[in-house]
Amino acid sequence: QVHLVESGGRLVQAGGSLRLSCAASGRTFSSGAMGWFRQAPGKEREFVAAISWSVGNTYYADSVKGRFTISRDNAKNTVYLQMNNLNPEDTAVYYCAAKLQVGRIDARSLYDYWGQGTQVTVSS
């Protein structure tokens, strides 16, 4: 059973930075990808970023390109999301997710495991 635990969410002022972490346990990932999604109140969960476990290819939503950076530490089975220049529109619960198969990475239906989420609140 795969278990994903996010951490690092908190209240931050606009223009500030945060680093989210997602620790995975239950299996060692050698293929597929890890992704970050977010869900703001009253909105659907949306793709933020993803990284492949094997090669480390990264993918970003247009709304976060140039501000967010996803990275991984294979030895620790951990994925990070560095978020810079945050704005109030980034306020959401951030979820990490793991998909075991290669292929499309921005569709939440393709992910096999999900964490419980961590709250990020950006004040203006």
Tell me the CA end-to-end span of the chain in Å, nearest whole number: 40
Q: Which two tokens stand for residue 22?
A: 């997602």
7, 117 contact by CB (below 8 A): no
pLDDT band at 43 (very low <50, low <70, confident <90, very high): very high
- The pLDDT value recorded for residue 75 is 87
Q: Which two tokens stand for residue 33?
A: 């990808």
pLDDT tens for 71-118 read: 999 889 899 999 999 999 999 999 999 999 888 899 999 999 999 999
| Whole-angstrom distance, CA of residue 100 vs CA of residue 114 | 12
Q: Which two tokens stand for residue 88?
A: 């109030």
Q: Which two tokens stand for residue 17?
A: 């930075």
The SS3 assignment for 119 reads: strand
pLDDT higher than threshold 80 for residue 51: yes
pLDDT band at 54 (very low <50, low <70, confident <90, very high): confident
pLDDT tens for 20-34 read: 999 999 887 778 899
123, 104 contact by CB (below 8 A): no
- The pLDDT value recorded for residue 31 is 81
pLDDT higher than threshold 80 for residue 37: yes
- The pLDDT value recorded for residue 46 is 97
| Whole-angstrom distance, CA of residue 31 vs CA of residue 54 | 5
